[in-house]
Amino acid sequence: MNFTIVPLHPSHDKKVFSCGKKLLDNYLHIQAKQDVKKRLSACFVLIDQEKKVKGYYTLSNTGISRDLLPVGLCKKLPKSFAVLPAILLGRLAVDGSVLGQGFGELLLIDALKRSHKVSISVIGSLAVIVDPVDERAVDFYQKYGFFALPDSGKMFLAMKTISDLIDL
């Protein structure tokens, strides 16, 4: 079976997508298309040959307050940036039918590569930020080097680390 990752399109069959988290299922079924239309986020989907959606992620611009960053990192950044530019990987999910087959990692790496490319050639971004839905999602992101930002529930991966991780 061939799979590709492409921007969400009306021809894609997303209605039976189910990852086990209502919030993430409903988002794809109901909200994603509207958010893309309003330019609030970009949505990329993993589709099979029949254009059935088997996974997805979203990217948006975000800002991260310098108070949340580790002191060591903060010291290296110009004080003029009270809020630092970053990319939000808002949602990432894989359909139950293909769970545990490497597609979560594939989507995550695709999102990190895409974010990195944008950050070096289009819009400066210090990091990719994620907003994990639960503790299991925290474990998943931790595996790839994301660390928790205090009092925000969010996690952080520096673009510099992403360069090393994806071996560009």
Ligand X SMILES: CC(C)(COP(=O)(O)OP(=O)(O)OC[C@H]1O[C@@H](n2cnc3c(N)ncnc32)[C@H](O)[C@@H]1OP(=O)(O)O)[C@@H](O)C(=O)NCCC(=O)NCCS
> Could you list the residues that contact ligand X (CB under 6 A)?
19-21, 24, 91-94, 99-105, 132-133, 136-137, 139-140, 143
Nearest to residue 106, comparing CAs of 117, 94, 95?
94
**What is the torsion angle, in degrees rounded to the nearest 10, for the CA atoms of residue 56, residue 28, residue 96 and residue 130?**
50
Q: In angstroms, what is the minimal distance from the CB of 114 to ligand X? A: 16
Rounded least distance, CB 102 to ligand X, Å: 4
Residue (56 or 126) nearer to ligand X, CB: 56
Task: Give CA–CA dist 117/107, Å, rounded.
Answer: 15
Residue nearest to ligand X (CB): 104
For residue 109, the minimal CB distance to ligand X (Å) is: 9
Q: Cβ closer to ligand X: 150 or 153?
A: 153
Burial call 141-150: b when 16+ CB within 10 Å, e when fewer: beebebeebe
Rank residues 120 and 142 by Cβ distance to ligand X and give the closer one.
Answer: 142
Q: Are 43 and 8 in contact (CB under 8 A)?
A: yes
Among residues 20 and 124, whose Cβ is nearest to ligand X?
20
Report, in Å, the least distance between residue 143 CB and ligand X.
5
